[in-house]
A and B are shown apart, each in its own frame.
Chain A
Amino acid sequence: MTFQRAQARPTRLSHARALAWFFVLAGSLATSAHAQLRLDITQGVRDAVPIAVVPFGGQAEGGPNDVAAVIAGDLQLSGRFKPLERRDLVARPTRGEQVRFEDWRLLESDFLVIGHVAPEASGLAVEFELFNVQTGQQLLTKRLVTSERGLRATAHRIADLIFERLTGIPGAFSTRIAYVAVDGRPPRQRYRLMVADADGYGPRIVTESSEPIMSPAWSPDGQSLAYVSFEGKASAIYVQRLATGERKRVSARAGINGAPAWSPDGRKLALTLSRDGNLDLYVLDLATQGLTRLTSDGAIDTEPEWSRDGASIYFTSDRAGNAQVYRVGAGGGQEAQRLTFTNGYNARPRMSPDGESLALVTLDRGAYRIATYDLKTRNVHVLTDGRQDEAPSFAPNGAILIYATRAGAKGTLAMASADGRFQQRLSSDTGDVREPVWSPFPPAQR
């Protein structure tokens, strides 16, 4: 088995706007060379904390590297903050001594972020300060050295630090999202596996095909994606390195090759095969190609997900007549144990970063919705209110989930907080977007 090079085509964004997600698809459809897919927040979030993020000194406002705009956009997407509109900012302080706190109190802003960008020997220095507007106290300040190209990444890092200072939870803004984008009408559709920054910026095509692509899964190191592709009119599982585009076909057995899930150490994939004409779970050792069978039920067993310690696999099975979530040992030779009993349909379990709960798709009063299942109390808590919500994926900080929903006839993305306090829909201009998967933290944050 050899690595082969697949397409990894970078695209550039002409401009970015605070409070909005931009997805630019390198469209190769006849009608448009560069179809743009923009995701806007369509629903306000109650109880969001007002915060003022003043344009940073030393750089022009607007443009993709506008540090304050990136920070405000991140805080808005978290659902916990409501950044002030730029036109409402009463002043443009860029250093602490320029701040008149009474101005910001009048605006009913709880917090204030200011900063500036300045050239220095090895590139650019970005310095920011976070204040409590009521007390005037400086809560956080830091100076980060970067380059023009690294400005967005630095802005995300600042948003991470501000989020953590104010909520106690590490920010997950320096992460990425993989998703599947589909264009065209049945039966002629184009499928693209995409990766973008967590705010939707800088989408890249990982692979594309006229046959379905599904079930992307990040490797624990964030360097590779496993996914299912039907090229060649049969399903196969591929592992592709994002940096180089090299990919390897790791499972192309007769029948179904589906639902790849990485073990926590990144050495194995749990997957679904249909060797006996129905779906069962296996674990594939990526180094040795050794295959361990986990289930041999006559029902559908699929959608495996590893426990954090790598000892167990959670999965969907309809062995009791309808889809429910089960757990089985990852080493094979064990009986599966049923976990969910409510709602007549619980599927696609996804482990929370703290290992204490599962996100899943549940049938809630006739609608498919995202819920969490607490592994200790066994409570199912419905988080969303769509008709066809699916594919939940936790952010690596566990505070928020991204999932797929429908807006009219189109598939689009949405976010919900893990505590159920808020959800926000994101609307798109073109195409069908589905199966979002949140990346792990970058190495520096792990």
Chain B
Amino acid sequence: MKWTHAVAFALLAVGLAGCSKPKQVQPDTSAQAPVDGSAQTSGLGNETGPSTGASAGAMSAAQQQALAALQSRNIVFFEFDSSEIRADYVSVVAAHAAYMTKFPTARVRLEGHTDERGSREYNIGLGERRAQTVRKALMLQGVAEAQITTVSYGEERPAVEGSDESAYAQNRRVELVQVQ
């Protein structure tokens, strides 16, 4: 098994942040739940998340391996009302930047989220601000603007249920979803 430099860098970066708890992002299930008889309003997304592996055919083995290595490190968490990337998640962004500069066809969707406190549309703004922070960090590390899209879900798509600090901490996040 031969690893590319990019993968080696990504794994090194992951290793450097060993003190933080690794989080597993949920597979992108939204496209799997069509709405009965109401196609106009159902989720129309047909992009394939990394965990499904369905797009593997178009990718080199090296890229597939690099992508697989990113799967366990694709969420950046935030403090309350903050959009600053915490030191322990700098390596997550760096790993994705390394992958995306190595494979210029790679595309990432940055999904910004907040906890449930405060008004919903304001939280859309806060989630967007978080996604933009990660976007800028990726671009500073050489990722092309065209490789990145952002979306803010605010508090509308929590990762976990609950109204305590532990749930809030897990919901304040940007998910880096590699879409190709």
Asked if A231 and B119 make an inter-chain contact with CB atoms under 8 angstroms apart, the answer reads no
CB distance from B13 to the nearest CB of A (A): 26
A390 CA to B161 CA in the complex, in Å?
18
- Asked if A137 CB lies within 8 Å of chain B CBs, one says no
CB distance from A436 to the nearest CB of B (A): 12
**Chain A: number of interface residues, binned into ranges:** 35 or more
Q: A278 with B128: in contact, given A7-B38, A210-B43 (CB under 8 Å)?
A: yes
Task: Tell me, in angstroms, the Cα distance from A215 to B36 when the chains sit together.
Answer: 23
* Residue B52 CB within 8 A of the other chain: no
Kindly provide the distance from the CB of A29 to the nearest chain B CB, expressed in whole angstroms: 11
Given A208-B41, A210-B42, A186 and B159 touching (CB < 8 A)? yes
CB of A5 within 8 A of CB of B40, answer: yes
Contact with A along B104-132 (1 / 0, CB 8 A): 00000100000011111110111011001
Report yes or no: B128 in contact with A435, Cβ–Cβ below 8 A: no
Given A215-B120, A303-B122 in contact, is the A388-B43 Cβ separation under 8 Å? no
Partner of A302, one of B125, B159, B162: B125
Taking the nearest CB of chain A, how far is it from the CB of B135, in angstroms?
A: 8
A348 and B44 contact, CB distance less than 8 A: no
- A300-B129 contact given A210-B34, A435-B120, CB 8 Å threshold: yes
Cβ of B157 under 8 Å from chain A: yes
**B residues less than 8 Å from A347 (CB atoms):** 118-119, 122
Contacting pair A186 B161 (CB below 8 A): yes
Stretch of B61-69, B94-102, B148-156 that contacts chain A:
B148-156
Q: Is the CB of B132 within 8 A of A277?
A: yes
Query: A50 at the A/B interface (Cβ < 8 Å)?
Result: no
A190 to B33, CA, bound (A): 9
Contact B45 A233 (CB under 8 A): yes
Stretch at the interface among A109-117, A150-158, A253-261, A376-384: A253-261
With A and B bound together, what is the CA distance between A303 and B132 in angstroms? 20
Annotate A373-410 by CB proximity to B: 1 below 8 A, 0 otherwise.
00000000000000110110000000000000010010
Q: How far is the CB of A267 from chain B (nearest CB, A)?
A: 22
Bound form: Cα–Cα A210–B41 in Å: 8
Kindly supply a per-residue 1/0 record for chain B positions 10-50, scoring 1 wherever the CB is within 8 Å of any chain A CB and 0 otherwise. Answer: 00000000000000001001100111111011111101000
User: Do residues B29 and A188 form an inter-chain contact, with CB atoms below 8 A?
Assistant: yes
Q: Is A279's CB under 8 angstroms from B163's CB?
A: no
CB of B132 within 8 A of CB of A361, answer no
State the CA gap A190–B43 with chains docked (Å).
10
Name the CB-closest residue of A to B120. Answer: A214
Residue numbers in B under 8 Å from A214 (CB-CB): 120-121, 154, 156
Is A208 touching B43 in the complex (CB atoms < 8 A)?
no
Q: Are A7 and B41 in contact (CB under 8 A)?
A: yes
Interface contact B41-A368, CB-CB below 8 Å: no
A316 CB contact (under 8 Å) in B30, B35, B122, B161: B122
Is A368's CB under 8 angstroms from B118's CB? yes
Question: With A and B bound together, what is the CA distance between A231 and B33 in angstroms?
Answer: 12
- The residues of A that contact B117 with a CB separation of less than 8 Å are 368, 388
- Chain B window 147-179, contacts with chain A (Cβ cutoff 8 Å), 1 for yes, 0 for no: 000111110111111110000000000000000
Of B26, B124, B152, B161, the residue contacting A409 (CB under 8 A) is B161
Q: Is the CB of B161 within 8 A of A185?
A: yes
**Hey, which chain B residues are within 8 Å of A368, CB to CB?**
117-118
Instruction: Check A147 for interface membership: any CB of B closer than 8 A.
Output: no
Identify which of A233, A247, A258, A391 contacts B30 (C-beta below 8 A).
Answer: A233
With A230-B153, A233-B30, A278-B128 already in contact, the answer to whether A361 and B41 are too (CB < 8 A) is no
Shortest beta-carbon distance from B65 to chain A in Å: 26
Q: Which residues of A contact B44 (CB under 8 A)?
A: 231-233
Residue pairs across A and B with Cβ atoms less than 8 A apart, 17 shown, are A186-B158, A187-B158, A208-B38, A209-B41, A209-B43, A215-B120, A232-B43, A232-B45, A233-B151, A259-B124, A300-B122, A302-B122, A323-B122, A348-B119, A388-B117, A390-B119, A409-B162
Given contacts A208-B35, A233-B47, 17 further A-B contacts (CB under 8 A): A6-B41, A186-B157, A187-B29, A190-B35, A208-B42, A258-B121, A272-B124, A274-B128, A279-B124, A303-B119, A316-B119, A323-B119, A348-B121, A387-B163, A388-B116, A434-B120, A435-B120
| The 5 A-B residue pairs with the shortest CB-CB distance in the complex, in nearest-first order | A300-B125, A212-B156, A7-B38, A348-B119, A211-B43
